[in-house]
Amino acid sequence: MPIQKTNQRVNINNRRIINGEDADVVQLYPMKHLFAWEAYNTGNANHWLPTEIGMQQDVEQWKSPTALSEDERIALKIVLGFFTTADSIAANNLVLATYKHITSPECRLYLLRQAYEEAVHTHAYQYIVESLGLDSGEIFNMYRERTSIYNKDAFILSFNDGIFDPKFKTGTFEADQKFLENMIVFSIIMEGIFFYSAFAVMFSFQRQNKMVGSAEQIQYIMRDESQHLNFGIEMINAIKEEQPELWTPAFQEKIIGLVKEAVKLEYTFAVDCFPKGIMGINADSFKKYIEHIADRRLSRIGLPAQYNSPNPFPWMSEAVDLSKEKNFFETRVTEYQTGGTLEW
Ligand code: FE
């Protein structure tokens, strides 16, 4: 956008997540969307790299003929099969679809941090695959070959139709709703639901003292992801406030329908990981867990709960519970500055 020579200062009250009038996307200060600045600082304080985490015990367990059952090996591979491409899909959406239409410079600043974190996550999966000596072609191509993963990714990617078009522009009712729908699908469903069965699988390994290095990688990733989810929710809610006309009853129904479809896809994926149920987890508890988190995501954007399922994995909520997030980030900040082990 060309700059105008002027003595007129930018009025931050005109600043919007999308469609900011006289939008100046390069002037960070003064800021309006303070949640973005907070998210950016939290992200920096949580900095980590996959190579800092020891993988030796995992390598020994993976090589050992007795440390893991065949079902556990298959579950681990399927989970990695989902993870290895999921963060690249998320990153592409941020960089190629979201970023350009965001007119809040502070939100753009965080998106740059988030995009980098998605790269670190993909690095972590690559590092696990390499450390364990897995067939990288098998794992990284699984999103095309394995139906339960393919269906999740195809569902998500279908919401890029139109938005990836170079001619796509926000500023009309239809376009803005489409853009908001993309943001909700990527935050609430991709980052908020589709990662979580795979997280639960990894932490059930960890609870048995199995594959603890891989699980620790995933713990760092989950901490970043819950921050991405929080930021996505803040942006969605800010757009709802700035453009309330977009939030029609029909649109709300549509979003609820999409979340319900996603819950089914996620359950199919979980059953595919654990067809016989292992490590004390069966398909029914996974179903309840997915429904439980779907309700939580819906309520964060002001939509009614659909399932009212109790949380069958309280050990997950201890690590993931968004209401505790602030607390564990604060803990983490201090620890990061004084040493850097993961204790939260
Ligand atoms: Fe993410």
Q: Is 125 a catalytic residue?
A: yes
CA of 87 to the centre of ligand 1 (A): 6
Q: Where are the alpha helices (DSSP H) in 64-161?
A: 70-92, 99-101, 105-132, 136-140, 142-145, 147-157
In a domain, residue 16? The reply is no
- Residues of the chain with pLDDT > 70, as a percent, come to 91
Residue 120 lies in a domain: yes
Asked if 264 and 279 count as a contact pair (C-beta separation under 8 A), the reply is no
Asked whether residue 47 is assigned to any structural domain, the reply reads: no
Residue-wise pLDDT tens digits, 192-243: 999 999 999 999 999 899 999 999 999 999 999 999 999 999 999 999 999 9
- Judge if pTM exceeds 0.85: yes
Q: Which pLDDT value is given to residue 342? A: 58
Distance 224 CA to ligand 1 centre (A): 7
Beta strands, E only, 262-339: none
Q: How many residues does the chain have?
A: 344
33 is in an annotated binding site: no
Q: Is 272 annotated as a binding residue?
A: no
Q: Which residue has the higher pLDDT, 244 or 30?
A: 244
Please tell me the distance between residue 73's alpha carbon and the centre of ligand 1 in angstroms.
Answer: 26
Domain-embedded: residue 34:
no
pLDDT tier, 316 (very low <50, low <70, confident <90, very high otherwise): confident
Domain count, the chain: 1
Would 241 be classed as within a structural domain?
yes
Is residue 239 in a domain?
yes
Q: How far apart are CA 171 and CA 106, in angstroms?
A: 20
Is there a binding annotation on residue 318?
no
Range(s) of the domain holding residue 77: 56-334
What are 71-125's pLDDT values in tens digits? 999 999 999 999 999 999 999 999 999 999 999 999 999 999 999 999 999 999 9
Output the domain CATH number for residue 268: 1.10.620.20
Q: Which among 125, 127, 220, 267 is annotated as catalytic?
A: 125
Lowest mean per-residue pLDDT among 151-160, 243-252, 321-330: 321-330
**Residue 32 maps to a domain:** no
* 19 domain-assigned: no
Give tens-digit pLDDT for 156-183: 999 998 899 999 999 999 999 999 999 9
Q: Give residue 107 CA to ligand 1 midpoint distance, Å.
A: 15
Q: Is 101 annotated as a binding residue?
A: no
| Contact criterion met (CB below 8 Å) for 43 and 224 | yes
